[in-house]
Amino acid sequence: MIDQEDFRPDPDELLKKINESESENTRGRLKIYFGMCAGVGKTYALLEDAHKAKSNGIDTAIGFVETHKRRETEKMTVGLETIPRKSIQYRGAIFEEFDIDATLERKPKLVIVDEAAHTNIPGCRHPKRYQDILELLDNGIDVLTAVNVQHLESRAETVKQITGSEIRETVPDSFIDRADEIEVVDITPDELLQRLSEGKVYTPEQSKRAIKNFFKKGNLTALREMVLRLTAERVDHQLRDYKAKEGIDRVWKSGQRLMVAIGPGPHSLELIRWTRRLSSTMEASWIAVYIESDKPLKDDEREGLARNLELAKDLGAEIITSTGLNVVNALLRIARLNNVTQIVVGKSRLQNFLTPKTIVDKLVEQSGEIDVYIVGGDEFTPKGLFPKIDFKFSTSLLQYFYAILSVVTTAVLSFQIKEDIGYQTISFIFLFLITLMPLVNFGRGPIIVASILSALIWDFFFIPPIFTIHISNTHDVLMIILFFVIAIVSGGLTAKVKAQERFVRSREERTNALFQISKGLSEAKNLDDVADIAVQSLKQFFRINATLLFVKESGELSPTAHRSSTFIPSDQEWYIAEWGFKNHQRSGKTTGNLPSAKALYIPIESSRTIYGIVGLEFTNENTPNFEQQTFLNSVIDRISAAVEREYLNNLAKNSLVIAESENLYKTLFNSLSHELKTPITTILAASSTLRNKNSSENSSLILDEIEKAGSRLNRLVENLLDMTRLESGRLSTHKELNELSEVVASAIRYVKNLHVENEFVFKCDSSDTLFEFDYRLIEQSLINVIHNCSQYSPKEGRIYVTLSKTPTEFSIVIEDEGPGFAQESLAHIFDKFYRAPGAKAGGTGLGLSIAKGFIEAHNGMISAENRIPNGAKFQIIFPIIKDYKPVDDEQ
Amino acid sequence: MMNSKHTILVIDDEPQIRSILKIILESAQLKVIMAETGKEGVVMAATHQPDLILLDLGLPDIDGHTVLSEIRQWSNVCIIILSVRKGEEDIVPALNEGADDFLTKPFNSAELIARINAHLRRTGKTNDEPIFSNGNLKIDFVKRLVTVDGIEVKLTVKEYSVLTELAKNVGKVLTQRQLLKSVWGPSYTEQPQYLRVFVAQLRKKIETLSNKHSLIVTEPGVGYRMPDLHSEL
């Protein structure tokens, strides 16, 4: 019986299938004509298909075709639309290149772009033409192109070995993997040679040279085999993929995972290609790992490492870099963490001086269940215990001076007591001195110099016969040897300890910096804060100028840099950033997209959304080295996370506003409908009563009621309009210089006109109450507060309004003689729609909340408390920002 | 009080506002003619030669400002703007373009009538009376003497100019720009702070307990007005 579980497709697999078929719909289709070398007729086949497509009604255009003046081929271009090429001037000459912008603008359904491996002239968007093609595909344009087997990254080395010629123009294997269709254009080597000699490929002169070098029959046969094998492998994969898709057979992935350990050396390139080939045969994913050790990389090594990692990435590897003094442990740790089943390493040539085992030996020994492939090479030159003795003046000359001085001083002093203690004991004094040296941080060089010097001095001045270097005693010979051994061992140890210290310190610095950045970012309160901290951190830790461009609401990249930016991209640079933004890719300096830029532009993005671009401007001096780049990447990750957090926060805030306005609506319908209906009822009832002639003696009372109801409705509408303005966050204040005393008086007058019977007492202790404020808003606030007081006052109760001024603030105190506030309502009286328990009928609970909003828009403050002995007391405070001096007009 | 009935032209597209205005104005012994649209309003202003125009800024066909400037090309008739909201941004431009006053809806009918009467009186009489009096304020233009409750008030030259400017236009709102221009000259029109500090000083000198905040009234966001204390009770 078959276990049902085994038939269940892996969810990841299904997801991948869905994603693939989705992207198949939006992305353009790529067809590659694949041949063993030039002259097999790829371009011809390509044009033939283009004609077919055109006659089928597909919008077809030629983007770039190199006919090499071959007549047959040239004939084939007739009748197809050709997009004009772009002319670029470079070093005085004019070059014609494929014009990607023109093609994107023209947007045919199918475009022909020959020779994917071509290297573009500097000044083009991408360094390589295949990158142009990828962009076309991303924009939904189908592409026909041609590639020779020698152009394939993973085969370049092999082709070089076969033909002996260096291959410069390559395309990454991932490009071939991207192809929806591959057509092999195949002719036999004999046929090709025939065509060559007929002059169909090159001019007779060129042909002769070609046949002598590249186009040897042996070469051609080998290349042809490569083409056919590669295609067969692919067909095999396609078949399996198809089966997997259709669920015909249980061909789920083996779960194999390869890991290749690489270093900065050129041999790693071969290791990477080897692993790629293995991974593609095994259908396994693969990781390329670099272990950063204690030894800092030299400049050329750094470049080599970057090149190696780039290649691995191009060939589809996942890149992991880690640190660790013990390479073996680090490799195994990463392997286990990533469920690696096979490790690929290069063969070590050198063995350790003190331990007979190479790193590879140790790896094999400790790898346990993981298989280890050892591929010829010298990647793991040990850098451990046996130190290379180099007299680099890495330590300062001063150290050498002190080392020599201390030896000489010891010698002089010892010479005085030589007679008393005997010459042999003196050797111990020297030895003691040398063993002390590492402790006081002497470098390797000075220690060795000191030990040689001590040995010579001891020999020359102390060992009898003195003033000769002759030694008769075996004892003494042994002692001399001992000098050297101790010197070398302590020198080595110091160097190691120091290196470790440096290593630990730089890690500590990085961790610390990362911690500080993360802390800063997590404490940031808004996007502006995040931007400030991000830019400052980049400046502080990398000495890099940065610019931040965020996404606009419309989804486009903002044309202006965030104000925190330390450099502003030029228009041209902005387009480069925008390109990266649109394509979700890094662009500019050190990338494959528009590398002529002054800065590197990195998308700030999460898995789904792009939030902007961070631009980093660095010169050759402060270009981040490899270690810094890893660090930089994690910093960018933190920044992206923080930016995303802020965007999500804003989103959450917006939905909160929506929720609140929904609440507003609800309250409107529940309670305000009552508020609206009451005055309307009054007006309608009153006016119909007026129509009845009998009630004429009451008419003035009835008219009073209509007027009251009308002003109540008006007040309600004003309140709702004000609240909406506050809620929408679009409250704009028109601040003007006005007299506070006037606005207070005017508010009191207004409330008095609302048929309020209270007596008002207005005290103003200052004649200078000029202050910059929005008259209408402050008047409205005061009306609301004073009206509120009058509502809760007994009829005969007074309302006191006191305006006073101190050097720093204006204070308006409004008091009534009503019941005051209940303790529990005191905290809520400024809340929207809050109505104190037992409040009089009428009122919306908006007045005080609006007053508070308006006052706060003037940097003011309103507070409420109970008045002693009874009543409510409101206090409004405005800070005085500027004192207005009287104007002298008598010029 | 008035010999002949004054004619008021109402230009407003709201039928309800037109009919209530008709009732209010006719009960105040004024003759009312109406226009529904801006174009009609301009034509009626030309053909009927009204003594005063009530103009709503929000009209369906042509903008109230256009109506205003068209009428101003050939007539100095008093025009009062009606607007929906206080502090509406186009009140100030309208006043600077030549409107005489403004009222915000909803308005009090008593206030409307008082304003209209004040403006009709102002246009009806010649402005060369040597003595101006409003409430407890008296200005003798010939002697350049200002008294409050009969007590002389010492004013600087500029203070006197501001006060007389407001007095000559009593009942009418003056925008900051208009005041600055006529007292300080055109180059000062963008310095409202100056005027505001100045008015505060002036008020201190002429205001007494009985006329506190009533001789010079701030029109928020617009400018100042000296209310006609005779017609507004």
Q: What is the pLDDT of residues A294-320, one digit of tens each?
A: 666 777 777 788 888 888 887 878 877
In Å, the largest CA–CA distance within chain B is 54
CB contact under 8 A, A745 and B213: yes
In this predicted structure, what is the pLDDT of residue A387? 37
State mean pLDDT over A89-105.
Answer: 85
In A164-298, which residue ranges form alpha helices assigned H by DSSP? 173-178, 189-197, 204-212, 217-246, 267-282
Q: Which of A840, A727, A715, A726 is nearest to A783 (CA)?
A: A715
Q: What is the pLDDT of residue A390?
A: 38
Residue A255 token pair: 């779960």
Compute φ and ψ for B147, nearest 5 degrees.
Answer: -130, 145
Q: Which amino acid is at A456?
A: L
Which residues does A808 contact at the CB level (< 8 Å), separation at least 6?
A879, A880
User: Could you tell me if A889 lies within 8 Å of chain B, comparing CB atoms?
Assistant: yes
pLDDT at A243 over 60: no
| CA gap B35, B14 in Å, rounded | 10
| Interface check A461 vs B, CB under 8 A | no
DSSP string, A766-802: -S--EEEE-HHHHHHHHHHHHHHHHHHS-TT-EEEEE
User: Cα separation of A877 and A856, whole Å?
Assistant: 10
Whether residue A837 has a cis bond before it, omega within 30° of 0: no
- Structure confidence at residue A811 (pLDDT): 93
* Six-digit token string for A366: 């400790």
CA–CA dist A864, A834 (Å, integer): 14
Give the separation between CA A370 and CA A340, rounded to whole angstroms: 7
Phi first, then psi: give them for residue B17, nearest 5 degrees: -65, -40
| Nearest CB to A776 within list B86, B106, B200 | B86
Judged by CB atoms closer than 8 Å, whether chains meet at A746 and B156 is answered as no
Q: Hey, CA dihedral for B114, B120, B123, B129, is it positive or negative?
A: negative
Nearest CA-CA distance, residue B196 and chain A, Å: 6
Q: Is A704 on the interface with B (CB under 8 A)?
A: no
Q: Does the pLDDT value for residue A386 go beyond 50?
A: no
Q: Give me the residue from A768, A770, A889 closest to B156, CB to CB.
A: A889
Q: How far apart are CA A103 and CA A113, in angstroms?
A: 10
Residues A734, B221: C-beta atoms closer than 8 Å:
yes
Q: Which residues of A touch B232 (CB under 8 A)?
A: none
Tell which of B163, B215, B218, B222 to mutate to test the A interface (max A CBs under 10 Å): B218
CB-side neighbour CA atoms (13 Å) of A183: 17
CB-count burial class (<10 Å; 0-12, 13-18, 19+) for A606: middle
Structure tokens at A85: 């090429």
- Residue in the block written with tokens 């309020």: A756
The segment with the largest mean pLDDT, out of A104-118, A338-352, A413-427, is A104-118
Determine if residue A603 is left, alpha or beta; phi over 0 gives left, psi from -120 to 50 gives alpha, anything else beta: beta
- Tell me which of B187, B193, B232, B233 to substitute to probe the interface with A (most A C-beta atoms closer than 10 Å): B193
Q: How far is A873 from chain B (nearest CA, A)?
A: 25
Nearest CA in chain B to A746: B213
Contacts of A741 in chain B (CB under 8 A): 213
Closest-CA residue of A relative to B109 is: A707
In angstroms, the separation between the Cα of residue A778 and the nearest Cα of chain B is 11
Residues 6-65 of B with CB under 8 A from A: none
pLDDT-above-90 percentage for chain A: 5
Closest CA to A472 of A417, A408, A423: A423
Report whether pLDDT(A7) > 70. Answer: no
Are B125 and B57 contacting, i.e. CB atoms less than 8 angstroms apart?
A: no
| pLDDT for the residue B121 | 80
pLDDT in tens, A419-476: 788 777 888 888 888 878 777 777 777 888 888 888 888 888 887 777 777 777 787 7
CA distance A385 to A489: 10
- Model confidence at A663, pLDDT cuts 50, 70, 90, reads low
CB within 8 Å: B197 and A770:
yes
Show which of residues 769-828 on chain A sit within 8 Å of chain B, judged by CB atoms. Answer: 770, 774-776, 779
Q: B158 at the A interface (CB within 8 A)?
A: yes
CA distance A818 to A799: 9
Contact A365/B at CB under 8 A: no
Contact B156 A738 (CB under 8 A): no
Q: Does B133 touch chain A (CB under 8 A)?
A: no
Q: Give the count of beta carbons closer than 10 Å to the beta carbon of residue A730.
A: 8
Question: Residue A574 is inside which H or E element, if any?
Answer: helix A571-583
Whether residues B159 and A887 touch (CB distance < 8 A) is answered with: no
Residues in chain B closer than 8 A to A885 (CB atoms): 197
Question: What's the pLDDT score for residue A301?
Answer: 79
pLDDT of res. A380: 43
- A504-554 pLDDT, tens digit each: 777 777 787 888 888 888 888 888 888 888 888 888 888 888 999 988 888
Flag whether residue A583 sits within 8 Å of chain B, measured between CB atoms: no
Q: At A714, is the pLDDT very low, low, confident or very high (cuts 50, 70, 90)?
A: confident
Give dist(CA A745, CA A726) in Å, integer: 25
Distances from the Cα of A519 to the Cα of A43, A288, A522, angstroms: 58, 31, 5
Q: Is the pLDDT of residue B3 over 50?
A: no
Give the tens place of pLDDT for each residue, B24-51. 898 888 999 999 998 999 999 999 999 9
Residue A323 has pLDDT above 80, yes or no: no
Task: Provide the ipTM.
Answer: 0.79
Taking one residue from A and the other from B, the number of pairs with CB-CB distance under 8 angstroms is 58
Tell me the C-alpha to C-alpha distance, in Å, between residue A330 and each of A119, A150, A188, A257, A313: 38, 36, 50, 17, 21
Minimal C-alpha gap between B179 and chain A (Å): 15
SS3 of residue A119 by DSSP:
strand
**How far is B202 from chain A, CA to nearest CA, in Å?**
11
Contact flag A889-B87 (C-beta cutoff 8 Å): no
Tokens representing A209 are: 């040279």
Of A403, A391, A407, A490, the residue nearest A456 (C-alpha): A407
Test A746 with B193 for CB contact under 8 angstroms.
Answer: no
Nearest to B221 among A714, A741, A775 (CB): A775
**Residues 129-148, chain A: which have Cβ within 8 Å of B?**
none
The per-residue pLDDT for B127 is 56
Q: Which among B192, B197, B213 has CB closest to A884?
A: B197
Structure-block tokens of residue A745 = 């008086």
* Beta carbons of B106 and A736 less than 8 Å apart: no
CB contact under 8 A, B201 and A714: no
Nearest chain A CA: its distance from B228 CA (Å): 17
Chain A residues closer than 8 Å to B221 by CB:
734, 736, 775-776
* Whole-number pLDDT of residue A878: 92
Q: What is the pLDDT of residue A668?
A: 60
The whole-number pLDDT of residue A240 equals 58
For A748, the closest chain B residue by CA position comes to B213
Cis amide prior to A869 (ω within 30 degrees):
yes
- Most confident among A67-76, A416-425, A688-697, A810-819 (mean pLDDT): A810-819
Does residue A249 carry a pLDDT above 50?
A: no
pLDDT at A8 over 60: no
Report CA-CA distances (Å) from A294 to A256, A330, A508, A687: 32, 13, 13, 96
B205 touches chain A (CB under 8 A): no
- Smallest Cβ distance to A736: which of B158, B192, B213? B192
Q: Between A714, A736, A770, which is nearest B200 by CB?
A: A770
Residue A612: which H helix or E strand, with range? Answer: strand A610-617
pLDDT at position A382 is 39
Q: Output the six-digit token pair for A56.
A: 């089928």
A753, closest residue in chain B (CA to CA): B108
The stretch A235-261 carries a mean pLDDT of 60
Cβ <8 Å between B220 and A710 = no
Interchain contact, B197 vs A886, CB within 8 Å: yes
Strand partners, A115: none
Chain A residues in contact with B87 (beta carbon < 8 A): 734, 776
Predicted local confidence at residue A674, as pLDDT: 72
Q: Which residues of A touch B225 (CB under 8 A)?
A: none
